[in-house]
Chains A and B, each alone.
Chain A
Amino acid sequence: MLKAAAAFAATPGAAFAQSAGFVAPFSDYRALVCVFLFGGNDSWNMLVPAGGAEYNAYAASRQNLAVDAATLLPINPLTPDGASYGLHPSMPGVQSLFEDDGAAAFVANVGPLLRPTSKAEVLAGAANLPPQLFSHNDQQDQWHSLKGVGTSRTGWAGRVADLIRGGVAEQRMATNVSLFGATLFQSADETTAYVMGPSGPVAFEGFGSEGILLEQRRAFERVIAANYNSVYERAFAAVQRRAVAAADEVGAALEAAPALATAFPVSLLGQQLETVARLIAVRDELAMQRQVFFVAAGGFDSHDNQNEDQPGLLGGVSEAIRAFYDATVELGVAEQVTAFTQSDFARTLTSNGDGTDHAWGGVQLVVGGAVRGREIYGSYPVLEIDGDVDVGGGRMIPGIAADQYAATLARWFGVDDADLDLVAPNLANFAIRDLGFLA
């Protein structure tokens, strides 16, 4: 199985060429929305053991950074694991999505892995691990690309878009859209992601549809269509061509979209998710059938002032995601849209005084009408220092691989089971190919 992954890494193009031809046109609409929490979300303070020995272990590890048990927002998973859980008090929006709507689920202790491993293996240096654990950009790249030790320069959403491109030939906008800059997550071999602003595309001022402003546009287009000597000029001109081509059509469609009744919080994340909801509202105008959106929030690298900053960080995510789910209900597409979080890593259980440092496995949140909600998927570890899955300082070895998480999302999105190994190259090393959180 490992061999197959290696062969894939060597000749990704060939694998895709074989695979993508077989996709039949989709007859329905689905969207994935990646909410990336930059900096490494301290998810052990997001979903927290709420009582008993589990809370005591957590409180003993976390000390001054532990959330007071009395303030946790209680949740009641349909399938209890014997422990009780609560959410950070700043997250009533997610609590109600979990408890009332049954549209939210957590995936516990997920992170980059190449194959299952154990504490003994890691400490002995014997484990085959993703390189540069605990480093921001390397672990962001790992979540984005699932590349393992190889040098894949495509992301898993990019590979998904390549694999399904035969099924979405009529789309008038790229499958992959980012509202937070260029990202490896959406990098692909055959398709190109489109980057817009947090409120959507910006129009080129000075271009019009008639007279001198049309001539100006045509002249500008001829300049950026010219042949250039330098690879940098060519790359720059290619972006300009995509920008000019998309700005009008997507911008016009978006402008014509009816206003949403759902109110979004005034925040960068709220703004991005509102734009995503509006783009979903005009999916038919743009003939969209499959979309992957990338939105993000920053500031989660809570090395200091964690107790002061965390309510705003987690509260902001909760409020924005609650509003986004409501908007999908308003648009009648809740079951066709799945939002999910990714983040560099979780954070150490130990404190550095007023904050935490980079760690490994953690908890991710999945929200949508297709989510088999009100559940915690995977095994939430006992949060004790030097416990079974702590490799030091409260850095937890993931029990679930990011590959499994991605493959579960990709399968729901419409990728064939046989192709999931192209999306998630380490998937073959894990027994479970579908974590079951999507119907």
Chain B
Amino acid sequence: MAMRRQLAAWTALIALTLGACGGGASGAGDGGSPPAPPPPPPPISDAEAWRFLNQATFGATPAAADEFKRLGAAAWIDAQMALPASLQLPFLQALPAPQFPFERQADRLDAWFRNAVNGEDQLRQRVAFALSEIFVVSQQGALVSYPYGLASYYDMLAGHAFGNYRELLEDVTLHPAMGIYLSMLGNEKPDPALNIRPDENYARELMQLFSIGLVELNADGSVRLGADDQPIPTYDQATIEAYAHVYTGWHFAGAPSFELAFPNAFNQTIPMQLYPDYHDTGEKRLLSGVVLPAGQTGEQDLAGALDSLFFHPNVGPFVAIRLIQRLTASNPSPGYVSRVAAVFDDNGAGVRGDLGAVVRAILLDPEARPAAPGATDGKLKEPLLRLTQLWRAYDARSASGRRSLRAAGVFFGGAPPAAPPVFNFSGPFYAPPGEIRDGSLVAPEMQIATEYQNTLVTNYFLYQAFGLNSASDALAEDDVYIDIDDEVEVAADTDALIDMVAAKLTGGELSATLRAEIETMLALLPADDPVLRAAETIYFIASSPEFAYQR
């Protein structure tokens, strides 16, 4: 039954998007007005609009800020959540079959950038990106040969961005991309004569990384301590082995048998199928005293196992911390975590795991919108988010139409989704040496902000500003360039130029130092070389610490 529900959801998702392919209702909010409009909220400042949009989208822009100020936060979220998902798989499927599957990874990246930079469903795409950094799969490794599977996996995350966590868990578990990545696909029941026992990979990581974590948490996300003053492990090796027995018998769908289940372009995009002969039917003793009786089907076992995780009290704070860190703050207070976790536990209508309500709670929490951000509020933007923000602000495009930044893996520390083995590039508890670590704070994005990576990203912004712009006559057809025509027009006027770039990249805010240094440089550049002046200004702002910081 779980399987049928699963398939139905999947099909509905695909149908929804196919139908929505061409349209894209722009400017959500000019739909029909409600009969009795509430009194207008107090006006929203530019700074507030920019902060909110940098938290909730792939980068604030002046146009997006105008729309946000008109709608207000709550209505903006409503409008965004109503938009259908921009998908990757239909884009890939419209292209001819490649000679070698891995060749389509560049096109998958193209689709990712199109949706991230230009998708109307910005909130959904940003949350899908966050989910992809929690429910990690990677194109590095075996999945390099499964571009359709990866695209379909990402689409699945986008489809569930405002859905229910329990259904997300099930679709993640049964997706063949995850099945390949964490080796549940092909996992079979024990064969004691050959010392073969079920693969523990997915059983372990589903608990550690996707649902409850290693140690018991309080509702505010803090670690519970036992009588010995030490953290209390949530599970032990025996628990892992019990769950490993649950996840047996699944393989690519539609094959004549388990042994003959080979991948093709289609079965990597639909949920795995149970092959009952390979499922362990013994009793399984799970977390929280849940016991799955012997003789159940694989679907029954799976439902019981996922329920046992879904109802574990850790899930609320576990999910709250991770989503808050991806969207708004590296170091949420216990109060912030517990408010969001409470919404996870109950959305107000008695429903547990409502991700739409969780996202809303994260974005509308007072802690996400302090009047004046303190030293530890906010977070660092990961390099890709700085790039997408620049591209959104400068209407980036290429002659061929492709947005396939093939160098993303080098310059930006990984094309999405592409993480080092299993653990995402930045663990939620990474603390760089120095005042952050010494203050018992964390900064996950600092893990990839190394001397090496920062230099590459800085250099990329240099190439983008000076070379890959609309004034260049040396662009290759796939080069993604930024449109600096407006800047070129005003470039002779230093103040006007700086104001214009700042308006597009920071909502107009610039530190005195940054403005002064740009002025210094512009004074040295020839007044009659507007392209150089425009590029210099964009480079200095895009590569600055303040542009790397999300308030």
B-contacting residues of A (Cβ < 8 Å)? Answer: 38-39, 60-64, 131-138, 149, 153-154, 158, 178, 181-182, 187-189, 192, 194-197, 201-206, 212, 215-216, 219-220, 222-224, 226, 228-240, 242-243, 246-247, 298-299, 301, 303-305, 349-355, 357-358, 385, 392-394
Contacts and interface: CB of A to CB of B under 8 A. Distances in A.
Contact of A237 (B197, B200, B231, B545): B545
Nearest to B229: A149
Across chains A and B, which 5 residue pairs bring their CB atoms closest together, nearest first? A195-B450, A352-B199, A243-B451, A226-B513, A303-B183
Contact of B433 (A38, A60, A61, A192): A192
Given A134-B237, A230-B375, A350 B546 contact: no
B208 interface: yes
A385 B544 CA distance: 57
> Number of contact residues on B: which range applies?
35 or more
B549 A230 contact: yes
16 contacts: A137-B427, A178-B450, A182-B446, A220-B517, A224-B545, A226-B514, A229-B373, A232-B548, A235-B380, A235-B436, A235-B443, A236-B545, A247-B455, A351-B196, A352-B183, A392-B237
Interface of B: 141-142, 182-183, 186-188, 191, 194-201, 204, 208, 214, 230-231, 233, 237, 240-241, 330, 373, 375-380, 420-423, 427, 431-437, 439, 441, 443, 445-456, 458-459, 462-463, 466, 511, 513-514, 517-518, 520-521, 524-525, 536, 539-540, 543-546, 548-549, 551
Contacts of B546: 228, 233
Contacts of A238: 434
A231 B439 contact: yes
A243 B456 CA distance: 11
A202 B456 contact: yes
A129 B347 CA distance: 40
A206 B186 contact: no
Contacts of B142: 305
A196 B448 CA distance: 12
Given A196-B452, A357-B201, A232 B513 contact: no
A239 B446 CA distance: 9
B199 A357 contact: yes
A201 B452 contact: yes
Contact of B188 (A233, A239, A353): A353
Contacts of A154: 433
Give the most central of A131, A201, A357: most B CB within 10 Å.
A357
B539 to A, nearest CB: 8
B451 A230 contact: no
Given A182-B432, A231-B375, A357-B201, A385 B195 contact: yes
Give the most central of A61, A239, A299: most B CB within 10 Å.
A239
Contact of B459 (A153, A195, A205, A233): A205
A41 B233 CA distance: 25
Give the most central of B199, B377, B459, B514: most A CB within 10 Å.
B199
Contact of B435 (A158, A212, A231): A231
B468 to A, nearest CB: 13
Contact of A352 (B197, B543, B548): B197
B514 A223 contact: yes
A161 to B, nearest CB: 11
Contacts of A195: 450-453
Nearest to A202: B455
Contacts of B458: 204, 240
Given A204-B458, A228-B546, A235 B521 contact: no
Contact of B186 (A135, A149, A243, A304): A304
A393 B141 CA distance: 27
A355 B196 contact: no
Nearest to A301: B421
Contacts of A153: 431, 433, 437
Contact of A135 (B208, B230, B449): B208
Given A204-B458, A236-B446, 7 more contacts: A212-B524, A219-B540, A232-B549, A243-B455, A247-B455, A298-B421, A352-B200
Give the most central of A205, A236, A242, A392: most B CB within 10 Å.
A236
A233 B514 CA distance: 13
Given A239-B449, A358-B200, A358-B204, A223 B545 contact: yes
Contacts of A385: 195
Nearest to A243: B451
Contacts of B380: 232, 235-236
A355 B199 CA distance: 8
Given A181-B447, A357-B199, A38 B420 contact: yes
